[in-house]
Amino acid sequence: MVALARKTLIYEWRRFLPAALAVAFSGLLLLMQAALIFGIFNSASVYIRASQGDLWVGYPGTQSIELGRPISSETEMLLRMDSNVAQVEPFQWLDGDWRGPASRGGVSVFISGIDPRADGLMFASALSGELRQRLLEPGGVIVDRADLDKLGLNVGDNATINRQRVRIVGVAAGLRALGGVNIVTSLATARRLDSDTAASGKVAYYVVRLNDPLSTEATRMRLSSEVGTKRFAVWTRDEFAQRAVRYWMFETGAGLGFLFLAVVVFLVGAVITSQTLMSAVAGSVREYATLHALGVSFRRLRNVVLEQASWVGTIGLLIGGALSALIIALARQQDVPVDLDALTVLACGVLVMGIALVSGLMAVRALRHADPATLLR
């Protein structure tokens, strides 16, 4: 009887094609929603994920990078005294007012002041050694290539930040931040752009590389316990990145609105898919009822219907997966923030397949209550 399911699918493929396409686009919609959510909100942690430090040190209670406050310069010495600390690097974060061409007006920017040496920790995976060297030029800045149009300038052009002259000395990929344009410059230039004289000599964060990364949590706890007055807080790299993403996703109105929209889209897609699939499976109910009247057990008919639903779900997932891969590749070429991992893809696939199987079970219920005498007329 199970072979009957496959033969029916092949012989009556036109009947099941709309259901397979409905499953495909439901999966596509779900994957795109997930990719955009993770892509957009993971950009809140681009400063952390694009860098190589094991620990981050900042103002106590900081929820996200842009909420950091200056901490004492004595912090660096305290960190270097720990035996497991191999490298400590200051990271200055500021906001600024970018002024370029008059037609663009002012643009709010985030200024990242980093150590431009080749072995620097900040943005180690986004900036090559040659690009970092360009930051040694006084007033030199690097921006994400996707932000050039927004700024209305090209490499080599001049602008001002907080009324101080700067020059774009290079572009890179993977620097886009959530909420504004990310400007990367040297610590020396960042200090010149800082208009807050009260914070002179202080930075917002210190990034720490450890000799033994396997003991990151033990080192974090040791450093935290040694600071009696809590002048700073210590987070692991993953902990601080997740903290920033959670803040933007659940503590801001934009994040909650985006999540609400994603839930609504998923529910609409699930309803349309289930109804289409139920209609396709239930279209053969007369034939199944005839077989039931001839002595085929209901359990065997149910297996046939469930196998049909499984095949429709599998074919739909394959089509949806191929379309998703194509669209995500296109989005990355256009610097659209999308991000998907294997666990998310697996979760979406299980969810869509679950919708397909539940729709098949609901169609079976219609078969149970069908009257063979009526269907044979």
160-205 pLDDT, tens digit each: 998 899 999 999 988 887 777 889 999 999 988 887 766 677 899 9
Question: Residue 208, SS3?
Answer: strand
**Lookup: tokens for 50:** 């694009």
Q: What's the confidence (pLDDT) of residue 210?
A: 94
The closest alpha carbon to 357, from 294, 283, 302, belongs to 302
In this prediction, residues 234-243 reach a mean pLDDT of 91
- Please give the average per-residue pLDDT across 39-52, as a whole number: 85
Residue 261 has pLDDT above 80, yes or no: no
Q: Which residue has the higher pLDDT, 98 or 251?
A: 98
Q: Distances from the Cα of 320 to the Cαs of 144, 310, 343, 352, in angstroms?
A: 31, 15, 17, 10
Phi and psi dihedrals of 251, rounded to 5? -105, -5
Q: What distance in Å separates the CA atoms of residue 226 and residue 218, rounded to the nearest whole number?
A: 12
Residue 90 has pLDDT above 90, yes or no: yes
Report the alpha-carbon distance of residue 70 to residue 58 in Å, rounded.
8
pTM of the predicted model as reported, rounded to 2 decimal places: 0.73
- Token readout for 109 is 């920017």
DSSP annotation of 262: H
How is the chain split into domains, by residue range?
Answer: 1-44+254-369, 60-231
**What digits encode the pLDDT tens for the residues 191-200?**
888 877 666 7
Query: What's the rounded mean pLDDT across residues 64-83?
Result: 87
Asked if 79 and 57 touch (Cβ cutoff 8 Å), the reply is yes
Greater confidence (292 vs 353) lies with 353
- Helices 298-333, 253-282: axis angle to 10 degrees equals 140
- Taking Cα atoms as reference points, which of 183, 225, 291, 235 lies closest to residue 59? 235
Coil, helix or strand for 295?
coil
C-alpha dist (Å) from residue 186 to 101, 134, 182, 269: 24, 9, 13, 48
Reply yes or no on whether the pLDDT at 230 is more than 70: no
CB-based contact 208:85 (threshold 8 Å): yes
Strand 85-99 to strand 106-114: parallel, antiparallel, or no bridges (unpaired)?
Answer: antiparallel
- Per the CB < 8 A criterion, the answer to whether 6 and 312 are in contact is no
**pLDDT, mean of residues 325-354:** 86
The per-residue pLDDT for 6 is 75
**Which residues contact residue 247 at a Cβ distance below 8 angstroms, ignoring those fewer than 6 apart?**
44, 63, 64, 67
Q: At what angle do helices 342-368 and 285-293 cross, to 10 degrees?
A: 60
CA distance 50 to 132: 14
The single-letter code of the amino acid at 114 is I
CB-based burial label for 341 (10 Å; 0-12, 13-18, 19+):
exposed
Confidence of residue 18 (pLDDT cuts 50, 70, 90): confident
